[in-house]
Structure 1
C-alpha cells in the first residue's frame, strides 16, 4: 500500500517530472495540474500544503501528468482555456486562444462605434467575438469560420458563457457576405513554413496545422483579406489583424499596393513586439 502523499510532496514530485520533460514552466504547471486534479483553486490549495490527497485525487493527478509528459497542452487536458472574462471549451481541432490576442479585443472595443455591427473572421473557439459581445453588449457581433469543428466549439462556448447575441456564419473569409461592418477582426493563420518547423512540439503535435500555417511567407490569408475587406467595411471602418512581428514591412507593402485604405497602424503586444495591424478605410 502506498504511503499518503501531501499537496507539498505532490507538487515537488510533479515539478521534478515536468522539469525532466522540459515543459515550459514546471513549477506553475505542477500547481495547475494538482489544482485541477483535486478540484480546488490554486491559491487556496497553496495555503493548505499539508492536506493529504485522496486515492481518487492521486489518480487524477497521475492521469493528467501522463498526458502532459507527452507534451499535450494543458488546455486540451483540462478541456478549457481562460480568455479575458470568459472560460472557453477547447479540444483537438481548435486552436488554443493566446494571451496576446486579448489585446486585439481591446483595440476592437475602443474602435467600434456605439451600436455598430462587427465581424470576427476565423473565430475558432469564439474568443474574440464572445468577448466583444460580453464587454460591448451594444454591438451586433458576427463570427465566421470555415471549419465546422471550430464553429461547434464557438457555439458551445456562447452557451457556456450565457452570451446570446453572436451570429455565426460558415464562410471562407468574406465570401458571400454582403453587409458592411464598422470593425472586422481576424486572427488568421500567419506562421510561415520555416517558423512552423521550429515551434514547440506540443503545438506541432496537437494543435491544428491549418489554424497556424499560411504558406511560405505566412501571409497567404492576410493578403487575401486585405485585398477584399475594404468592400465589407463602412467608411472610416477598421480592419484589425493579429500578425507576426516580422510581417510589419511586408504588410506595409501590401497596404501601399492596395490603395483601398486611408491609413495603417501597427500596435505592440505586452512584450513590446509588433503584434497587431490596424487598417482604416
Structure 2
C-alpha cells in the first residue's frame, strides 16, 4: 500500500466502514487525484505537488464532514450520461433511472411531458435525449436547482423548457396540454429522518426530501389535482413514491377519478412507482 493510500485510509477510518474507506481511497486517488487504476492496484506512490496536497486535504476534510462524494466530484452518472450536481439539488438515485426506463417503454415518442420537481433535470433531460420528438417542460420551486438543471441541459444539448413554479401554490389553466406528467417529489416523512445516513441528512436539500408525517402524500395529491385539467384524455401520471405508501397512493388516485392505476416494484422489490391514467 502506498503512503498516500495509507494516509487517506487513516484519515477516513473514524468516519466510515472499512469497505467504504477502501472504496473512497480508490476514488480519491484515481478519480480526483488522477492516478492510473493500474498504478493504484500495484501500490505505486503518487507524487503530489503542493497544490495537489492542498486539494487532497480539502477532499478529506469534506469527506470527514460526510459531504457526498458526488458533490465533491461535482458530477454523477444517470442512465449513462454525466450530470453536474451540487448542494441544492438532490443526487439522482438508481430507482429514478428505473422510472425513466419504464416510461421509455410506455410513452409515445412525441409525447408532451411535464416533469414536476426537476432538481438536477435528470428525468426531463434523459427523456428529451431519448425522445427527440417529445416536448419536455420541467418545473421546480428552487431557482438554485433550475440553474443546475439548465447547465445540464446545455451541456447535454437537451431541449427542455424550464419554469420556476411552486406546485403547491401555482394556479394553472393549461387544459389538456400534456400527455404525461412525471414527478419524483419529496416523500420522506419527518419520522424517517432517524434512519437516514448523515451524508443525506446533513447535505442534500430538505426541500427535495421531506414531507410532514401527517400529510405524506401532499405533493402527489396536488399534482393529481392539476393533472385532471392539464392532462389530455388518456394522459398518464408517473410517480416515484415512498415504498410505504403504495396502497394509499392507489386508493387516492382512484378516488380522484384516475383509472388503470397500478403499482410497480423497483429492483429491490419495493413498491416504488405508481402509474395512473386520466
Q: Compute the TM-score of the two structures, normalised by the length of structure 2.
A: 0.89
Q: Distance in 2 between matches of 1:177 and 1:18?
A: 53
2:113 aligned residue: 118
Q: Residues 35 and 45 of structure 1 are in contact (CA less than 8 Å); yes or no, is this contact kept in structure 2?
A: no
Q: State the shift of 1:167 in Å.
A: 0.8
Given the superposition, is the C-alpha separation of residues 233 and 97 from structure 1 closer, same or farther in structure 2, using an over 3 Å criterion?
A: same
Q: Residues 250 and 274 of structure 2 are in contact (CA less than 8 Å); yes or no, is this contact kept in structure 1?
A: no
Q: Residues 37 and 57 of structure 1 are in contact (CA less than 8 Å); yes or no, is this contact kept in structure 2?
A: no
1:261 aligns with 2:258: yes
Q: Distance in 2 between matches of 1:52 and 1:196?
A: 40
Q: Distance in 1 between matches of 2:130 and 2:180?
A: 15
Q: Distance in 1 between matches of 2:271 and 2:127?
A: 22
- Picking from 152, 155, 158, the partner of 2:153 is 158
Residue aligned with 1:100, SS: helix
Q: State the shift of 1:46 in Å.
A: 4.1
2:203 aligned residue: 206
Q: Distance in 1 between matches of 2:113 and 2:173?
A: 12
1:168 aligned residue: 162
Q: Distance in 2 between matches of 1:60 and 1:241?
A: 40
| Count of aligned positions | 272
1:74 aligned residue: 69
Q: Distance in 2 between matches of 1:37 and 1:237?
A: 45
Given the superposition, is the C-alpha separation of residues 137 and 12 from structure 1 closer, same or farther in structure 2, using an over 3 Å criterion?
A: farther
Superposed CA RMSD:
2.1
Q: Distance in 2 between matches of 1:15 and 1:196?
A: 29
Q: Residues 190 and 222 of structure 1 are in contact (CA less than 8 Å); yes or no, is this contact kept in structure 2?
A: no
Given the superposition, is the C-alpha separation of residues 247 and 45 from structure 1 closer, same or farther in structure 2, using an over 3 Å criterion?
A: farther
1:215 aligned residue: 212
1:270 aligned residue: 267
Q: Residues 129 and 141 of structure 1 are in contact (CA less than 8 Å); yes or no, is this contact kept in structure 2?
A: yes
Q: Distance in 2 between matches of 1:32 and 1:222?
A: 38
Q: Residues 85 and 131 of structure 1 are in contact (CA less than 8 Å); yes or no, is this contact kept in structure 2?
A: no
- Picking from 7, 16, 19, the partner of 1:22 is 16
Alignment of 1:130-149 (within 5 A): 130-149=125-144
Q: Residues 108 and 183 of structure 1 are in contact (CA less than 8 Å); yes or no, is this contact kept in structure 2?
A: no
1:229 aligned residue: 227
Given the superposition, is the C-alpha separation of residues 45 and 184 from structure 1 closer, same or farther in structure 2, using an over 3 Å criterion?
A: farther
1:3 aligned residue: none
- Picking from 237, 240, 250, the partner of 2:238 is 240
Q: Compute the TM-score of the two structures, normalised by the length of structure 1.
A: 0.88
Gaps of 5+ in 2: none
Residue aligned with 1:25, SS: helix
